[in-house]
């Protein structure tokens, strides 16, 4: 009995000795945005569960909260015997993150979608950026392979860097498909200049459909819900039913009207009508950050995650896989390996997009 | 030349006219609301907030009851409630109408943002809750061109035009309308003649809540089927501009709304045109077209507009 007690006590010591905390400070979007904040939190929770450490979230309600919330989180982490890590989520928190990180050099900080404003990143900070262009490349390729009219559309929100990277990738995907298959699929591009006006997204999507496109990829935040709604309205009117199997059957025979989602797997928002989504794996990034801080494998600086790092990917096309030929799917697989190897580099700037030439690609089948 | 060709193609595309109608509909409703309020002498810049609250309430009640029309009805009720606050503050307490309107916009933004979490369990946006079905008029859809424009439209579009006709009749052909206008021009004189100035002004402001609430319902359950924070996107202010451009007249406001709708449809269509090759970073400039057009129209074509003389001036009875 005594022995058991001693063992238990020893275990208690061990457990309490490893007290480590991962705290996430949201941006004003907060939890529930189905994008950054939710994704980052999912990754933290996954890591915390695996390691058996504590995780916590602090919501920011306005931009003025960023600095005070990050400081609060850092103070809390400092009290833990084994320290911990503080997450800042979203491009808008850039300044706050670097300001606070300098005041707490013994606390680990991680930023999601944050590019450091200066060359010198403090040794306690990692930031994660994503190769949006790589996942957009894949959906662009799928779009070019699926369109029956040879015209596809792109709708961006405000042309900020992540949105533009999605566009570069999409354009490259279409171009590569054209070059490999001798087709001439063209792209119509437009911007809503907004991220939270779904009606605007819908109107612009209807305009593009009126110009004859049959697939639209959006990178426009909540405006995209309007884009998806526009596609759904058109498709349902064509098919005469909202039933998934009827939609797929119709689309298989006659083609149809599709939207493509962004950031997270949006295929479920209109099953059968959202062809695929270009996903951004913020959860992978936040998971990695916690692991590094906990295991002491800290690599400060900027980390850019692409297909190779599992930082971006295309949705599994749960509802619409049957609409894409097996050959196209196999080609996609092969292109993914080329991108992972670094043989195929997707442009991430306007200049590199303009000078992009499709390399010689021989499919091994 | 390519540009001229692109413009020509836009104008012969039936869908351009359809998008014009759907883009103008919320503006028609909201600018009508502005007309009702302002001809009785109360400035109502709260339209933006009322629309937002209407959009939220209609989604909320559609979600709760499963019936979109109950949602639409409740949007009207919520519009009435917010408009009543405006009326109460600006008529009974003679508050500054612009300050009050601004406060109400902020209240609407705060309340809808706050209620998202406890009601829908997440901030930002709701899931799809359902929407008002398009009206398909048999036979009409088969006529070439016209069928593409009017074949499938939201019933809200027809309601908007009916509302304009009704309002024109009410304001210019009935005794109540005459009283509304007289209260907006010269409340003292109207009061001397035994007209209930406060009552008429309450009526005007409350009606503006009804129309702006409908505008909000159209944006959410009428078009996209879900609510997103701040989804009114400044349309309340554009509606105010349409009302002024339309000379405080329901028909004028409708025409101005159609002009704004057409220019935004035009901007969308132009930036989607495959004939014009402009770089993607220049595309957001197309969004300026509606505003450039407004300046041209206001500066060049609209004569002197007649503002109700007592617009924005609180009326206080002499003891």
Tens digits of residue pLDDT in A198-249: 899 999 999 999 989 999 999 988 888 899 999 999 999 899 888 899 999 9
Question: Could you read off the pLDDT tens digit of each residue along chain A, which spans 365 residues?
Answer: 566 666 655 555 444 445 889 999 988 767 766 667 888 898 999 999 999 888 988 888 778 889 999 999 999 988 888 888 999 988 888 899 999 999 999 899 999 988 888 878 889 999 999 999 999 999 999 999 999 999 999 999 888 888 899 999 999 999 999 999 999 999 999 999 888 788 999 999 999 999 899 999 999 888 888 999 999 999 998 998 888 999 999 999 888 999 999 988 889 889 999 999 999 888 888 998 999 988 888 888 899 999 998 889 999 999 999 899 999 999 999 999 999 999 999 999 999 999 999 988 888 87
CATH for A20-130+282-305?
A: 3.40.50.2300
Q: What is the DSSP letter of A150?
A: S
Say how far apart CA A83 and CA A298 lie, in whole Å.
13
Length of chain A: 365
CATH number at residue B215: 1.10.3470
Under an 8 A CB cutoff, do B231 and A164 touch? Answer: no
Which domain does B280 fall in, by range? 2-300
Closest residue of A to B122, CA-based?
A32
Residue B223 contacts residue B22 (beta carbons within 8 Å)? yes
Residue A261 contacts residue A278 (beta carbons within 8 Å)? yes
Nearest to B171 by CA among B161, B181, B162: B181
Mean pLDDT of chain B: 90
Q: Which residues of A touch B152 (CB under 8 A)?
A: 237
Residue B18 contacts residue B145 (beta carbons within 8 Å)? no
Nearest to B308 by CA among B215, B170, B190: B190
Give the Cβ contact number of residue B162 at 10 Å: 10
Fold that domain A132-280+325-354 belongs to in CATH: Rossmann fold (3.40.50)
CA dist B310 → B200, B205, B243 (Å): 14, 15, 16
Which one of B22-26, B135-139, B302-306 scores highest in mean pLDDT? B22-26
Say how far apart CA B52 and CA B216 lie, in whole Å.
6
The boundaries of every CATH 3.40.50.2300 domain in chain A are 20-130+282-305, 132-280+325-354
Position B52 in a domain: yes
Under an 8 A CB cutoff, do A269 and B128 touch? Answer: yes
ipTM: 0.87
Strand, coil or helix: A62 = coil
Residue A91 contacts residue A114 (beta carbons within 8 Å)? yes
Give the angle A154-A138-A306 at the CA atoms, nearest 5°: 110
- CB of B226 within 8 Å of a chain A CB? The answer is yes
Say how far apart CA B275 and CA A272 lie, in whole Å.
31
Closest residue of B to A38, CA-based?
B122
- pTM for this prediction: 0.85
Position B262 in a domain: yes
Position B100 in a domain: yes
Tell me which residue has tokens 């930036």: B271
Residue A30 contacts residue B123 (beta carbons within 8 Å)? yes
* Least Cα separation, residue A101 to chain B (angstroms): 28
Which residues fall within 8 angstroms of residue B171, CB to CB, at 6 or more apart?
B35, B39, B177, B180, B181, B249, B250
Under an 8 A CB cutoff, do B274 and A211 touch? Answer: yes
Say how far apart CA B71 and CA B55 lie, in whole Å.
9
Position B318 in a domain: no
CA dist A253 → A245, A246, B238 (Å): 12, 11, 44
Q: What are phi and psi of B161, to 5 degrees?
A: -70, -35
Q: What is the DSSP string of B114-174?
A: HHIIIIISSSSB------PPPEE-TTGGGSTTHHHHHSEE-HHHHHHHHHHHHHHHHHHHS
Count of structural domains within chain B: 1
Which residues fall within 8 angstroms of residue A361, CB to CB, at 6 or more apart?
A176, A180, A334, A335, A338, A344
Give the angle A96-A99-A103 at the CA atoms, nearest 5°: 130
Residues within 8 A of A (CB atoms), B 83-142 only: 116-117, 121-125, 128, 134
Among B16, B228, B264, beta carbon nearest to A198: B228
């Amino acid at each position: 009995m005594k022995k058991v007690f001693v063992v238990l006590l020893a275990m208690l010591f061990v457990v309490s000795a490893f007290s480590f905390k991962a705290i996430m400070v949201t941006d004003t979007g907060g939890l529930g945005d189905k994008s950054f904040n939710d994704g980052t939190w999912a990754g933290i929770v996954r890591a915390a569960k695996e390691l058996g450490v504590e995780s916590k979230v602090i919501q920011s309600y306005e931009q003025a909260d960023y600095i005070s919330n990050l400081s609060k989180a850092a103070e809390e982490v400092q009290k833990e015997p084994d320290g911990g890590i503080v997450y800042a989520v979203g491009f808008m928190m850039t300044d706050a993150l670097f300001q606070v990180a300098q005041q707490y050099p013994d606390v680990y900080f991680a930023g999601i979608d944050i590019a450091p404003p200066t060359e010198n990143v403090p040794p306690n900070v990692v930031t994660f950026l994503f190769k949006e262009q790589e996942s957009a490349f894949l959906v662009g390729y799928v779009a070019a392979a699926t369109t029956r009219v040879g015209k596809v559309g792109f709708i961006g929100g405000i042309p900020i860097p992540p949105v533009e990277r999605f566009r570069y990738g999409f354009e490259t995907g279409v171009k590569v498909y054209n070059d490999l298959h001798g087709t001439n699929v063209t792209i119509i591009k437009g911007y809503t200049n907004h991220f939270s006006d779904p009606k605007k997204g819908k109107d612009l999507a209807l305009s593009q459909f009126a110009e004859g496109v049959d697939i639209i990829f959006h990178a426009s935040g909540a405006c995209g819900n309007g884009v998806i709604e526009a596609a759904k309205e058109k498709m349902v009117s064509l098919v005469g039913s909202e039933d998934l199997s009827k939609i797929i059957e119709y689309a298989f025979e006659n083609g149809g009207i599709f939207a493509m989602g962004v950031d997270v797997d949006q295929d479920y928002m209109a099953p059968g009508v959202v062809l695929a989504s270009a996903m951004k794996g913020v959860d992978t990034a936040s998971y990695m950050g916690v692991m590094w801080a906990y295991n002491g494998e800290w690599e400060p600086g900027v980390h850019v995650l692409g297909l190779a790092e599992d930082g971006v990917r295309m949705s599994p096309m749960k509802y619409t896989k049957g609409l894409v030929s097996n050959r196209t799917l196999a080609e996609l697989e092969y292109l993914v390996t080329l991108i992972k190897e670094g043989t195929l580099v997707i442009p991430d700037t306007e200049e590199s997009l303009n000078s992009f030439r499709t390399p010689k690609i021989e499919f091994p089948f | 030349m390519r540009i001229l060709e692109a413009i020509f193609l836009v104008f012969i595309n039936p869908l351009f006219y359809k998008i014009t109608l759907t883009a103008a509909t919320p503006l028609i409703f909201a600018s009508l609301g502005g007309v009702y309020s302002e001809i009785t002498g109360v400035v109502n810049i709260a339209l933006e907030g009322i629309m937002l609250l209407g959009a939220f309430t209609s989604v909320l009640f559609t979600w709760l009851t499963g019936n979109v029309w109950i949602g639409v009805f409740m949007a009207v009720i919520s519009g009435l409630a917010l408009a009543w606050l405006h009326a109460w503050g600006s008529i009974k307490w003679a508050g500054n109408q612009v300050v009050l309107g601004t406060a109400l916009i902020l209240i609407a933004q705060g309340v809808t943002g706050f209620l998202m979490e406890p009601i829908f369990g997440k901030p930002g946006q709701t899931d799809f809750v359902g929407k008002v079905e398009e009206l398909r008029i048999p036979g009409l859809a088969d006529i070439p061109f016209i069928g593409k424009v009017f074949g499938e439209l939201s019933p809200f579009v027809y309601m908007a035009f009916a509302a304009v006709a009704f309002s024109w009749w009410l304001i210019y052909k009935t005794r109540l309308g005459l009283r509304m206008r007289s209260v907006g021009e010269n409340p003292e004189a109207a009061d001397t003649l035994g007209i209930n100035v406060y009552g008429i002004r309450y009526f005007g402001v409350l009606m503006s809540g009804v129309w702006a609430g409908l505008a909000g319902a159209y944006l959410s359950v009428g078009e996209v089927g879900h609510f997103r924070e701040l989804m009114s996107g400044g349309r309340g202010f554009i509606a105010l501009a349409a009302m002024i451009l339309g000379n405080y007249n329901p028909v004028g406001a409708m025409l101005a709304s159609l002009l704004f709708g057409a220019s935004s449809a035009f901007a969308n269509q132009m930036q989607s045109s495959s004939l014009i090759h402009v770089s993607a970073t220049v595309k957001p400039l197309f969004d300026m077209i509606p505003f450039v057009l407004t300046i041209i129209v206001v500066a060049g074509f609209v004569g002197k507009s007649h503002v109700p003389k007592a617009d924005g001036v609180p009326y206080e009875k002499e003891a």
